[in-house]
């Protein structure tokens, strides 16, 4: 079994299955509304006193529950008065045992019931062996990295995909500081302090977003652009964001993709004009992604609702959209979402050492993941002409545009059950379903090329 539902109660075969005990009975005549909990308490009393509970058969359920509770209270008083041979500190022992039981049993169970491993399917939370998001973050990126290295050895020159992350900066974590891994950060700029050589993140949000992109797009080059000190100051950082977009998209950086894990309730004219200018200058060969927002009482944020930006919503690893997403679009249009919760624990372990609880699940996380997925797909598209002789470079070139990546996202997405306007970007299904249909031709890459071509060709 890969997952087990988390429940705030225990299941015991306490009675005949033909006559089950109800979970709760809020009858004013009852002195205890939760008969299953009472049954567990009686079971523990029997264990503690090493004798059967002296229940008396009553004429109906109400009398039975009330009578059993009265008897149980009496049994508990007797249990507290019992002496243990050769041990005169029973009361102290009971207190210590109660504290240990709370610390090591009740408190962890409470954490599981309230938070668990942040794995939910609708209203039901689950314990699972491993994060279902992990293959989405790791498998495709690793595969594309191997293909690109093989292409390089074969003498084919491929430029790395460049992702610009506009956020609170970036701080090297231990794995980069100790030389375990080479940092993928190739350029930085701080529009808060005006530094071209440093974009130190004292807050942590930008560091987390960058690590999400790095994890899901290991071959990408990362451009870090600090536009705010922290998330609270983002509201006054629109001019920094405008300047950051111009710099990241300009000749100095030539970012292929700009990721913005933030949003505003109101449109900022300067940002709108810059996006239009950049699209014109780059002939639309640049991709913008932004977080949809994390307030169900508010509409989709800006710049996510800009027509040239892909708005990303948060979903759990089962494709269920989170309740924290903004309210539905007024035009009823379909929205895209991806992994905004249920991510692998190791992603949080390193960053929590320096920035505890810096980022909660939501569309900011989903946007960074989507940026990584997009970068990996762009890297794969660059390799396809070397893998599939029949490929159309004219069609594949459309993947460099926002509308092209959006079309590819929709091609690998599946509709959320019960809501035809919510589409969950599922790269696992894309790589699995296009795996070996044409294994005799180019190792299966022909099937993936066909799937990508179908998505992009509709834009011509």
In the residue annotation, 433 being an active-site residue is answered as: no
Map the chain to HEC letters.
CCEEECCCCCCCCCCCCCCCCCCCCCCCCCCCCCHHHHHHHHHHHHHHHCCCCCCCCCCCHHHHHHHHHHHHHHHHHHHHHCCECCECCHHHHHHHHHHHHHHHHHHHHHHHHHCCCCCEECCEEEEECCCCCHHHHHHHHHHHHHHHHHHHHCCCCCCCCEEEEEECCCCCCHHHHCCCCCCCEEEEEECCCCECCCCCCCCCHHHHHHHHHHHHCCCCEEEEEECCCCHHHHHHCHHHHHHHHHHHHCCCCCCCEEEECCCECCCCHHHHHHHHHHHHHCCCCCEEEEECCCCCCCCCCECCCCCCCEEEEEECCCCCECCCCCCCCCCCCCEEEEECCCCCHHHHHHHHHHCCCCCCCCHHHHHHHHHHHHHHHHHHHHHHHHHCCCCCHHHHHHHHCHHHHHHHHHHCEEEECCEEEEEEECHHHHHHHCCCCCCCCHHHHHHHHHHHHHHHHCCC
Task: Work out the angle at residue 183's Cα, subtended by the Cα atoms of residues 181 and 189, and round it to the nearest 5 degrees.
Answer: 165
In the residue annotation, 420 being an active-site residue is answered as: no
Which is the catalytic residue, given 199, 237, 341, 364?
A: 364
In the residue annotation, 453 being an active-site residue is answered as: no
Report yes or no: 329 and 189 within 8 Å, Cβ to Cβ: no
Nearest to 204 by CA among 242, 241, 234, 173: 173
Q: Which residue has the tokens 């652009």?
A: 225
Report yes or no: 295 and 264 within 8 Å, Cβ to Cβ: no
Report yes or no: 391 and 384 within 8 Å, Cβ to Cβ: yes
Q: Which strand ranges, in their side-by-side order, compose the sheet holding 162-167? A: 185-190, 221-226, 162-167, 257-260, 287-291, 310-315, 335-339, 419-425, 413-416
Which is the catalytic residue, given 119, 131, 167, 190?
A: 167
The residues annotated with a catalytic role in the active site are 167, 205, 364
């Amino acid at each position: 079994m890969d997952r087990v539902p988390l429940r705030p109660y225990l299941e015991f075969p306490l009675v005949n299955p033909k006559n089950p005990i109800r979970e709760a009975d809020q009858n004013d005549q009852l002195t205890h509304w939760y008969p299953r909990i009472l049954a567990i308490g009686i079971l523990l009393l029997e264990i503690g006193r090493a004798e059967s509970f002296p229940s008396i058969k009553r004429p109906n359920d109400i009398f039975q529950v009330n009578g059993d509770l009265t008897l149980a209270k009496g049994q508990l008083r007797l249990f507290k008065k019992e002496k243990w041979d050769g041990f005169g500190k029973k009361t102290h022992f009971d207190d210590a045992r109660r504290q240990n039981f709370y610390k090591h049993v009740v408190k962890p169970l409470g954490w599981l019931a309230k938070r668990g491993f942040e794995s939910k399917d609708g209203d039901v939370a689950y314990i699972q062996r491993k994060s279902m998001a992990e293959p989405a973050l790791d498998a495709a990126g690793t595969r594309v990295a191997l293909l690109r290295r093989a292409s390089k050895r074969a003498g084919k020159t491929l430029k790395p995909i460049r992702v610009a992350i506009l956020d609170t900066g970036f701080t090297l974590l231990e794995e980069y500081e100790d030389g375990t891994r080479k940092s993928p950060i190739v350029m930085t700029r701080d529009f808060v302090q005006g530094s071209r050589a440093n974009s130190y993140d004292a807050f942590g949000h930008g560091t987390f977003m960058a690590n999400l992109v790095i994890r899901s797009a290991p071959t990408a080059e990362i451009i870090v652009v600090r536009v705010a000190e922290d998330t609270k100051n983002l509201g006054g950082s629109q001019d920094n964001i405008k300047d950051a977009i111009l710099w990241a998209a300009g000749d100095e950086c030539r970012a292929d993709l700009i990721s913005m894990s933030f949003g505003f309730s109101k449109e900022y004219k300067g940002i709108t004009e810059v996006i239009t200018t950049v699209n014109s200058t780059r002939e639309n060969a640049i991709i913008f992604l932004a977080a949809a927002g994390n307030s169900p009482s508010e509409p989709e944020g800006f710049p996510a609702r800009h027509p040239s930006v892909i708005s990303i919503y948060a979903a759990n690893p089962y494709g269920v959209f989170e309740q924290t997403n903004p309210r539905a679009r007024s035009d009823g249009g379909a929205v895209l979402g991806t992994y905004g919760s249920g991510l692998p624990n190791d992603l949080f372990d390193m960053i929590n050492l320096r920035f505890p609880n810096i980022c909660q699940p939501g569309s900011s996380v989903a946007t960074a993941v989507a940026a990584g997925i997009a970068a990996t797909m762009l890297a794969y598209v660059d390799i396809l002409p070397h893998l599939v002789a029949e490929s159309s470079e004219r069609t594949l070139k459309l993947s460099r545009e926002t509308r092209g990546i959006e079309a590819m996202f929709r091609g690998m997405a599946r509709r959320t059950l019960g809501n035809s306007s919510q589409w969950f970007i599922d790269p696992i299904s894309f790589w699995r379903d296009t795996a070996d249909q044409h294994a005799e031709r180019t190792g299966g890459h022909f099937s993936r090329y066909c799937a990508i071509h179908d998505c992009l060709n509709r834009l011509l």
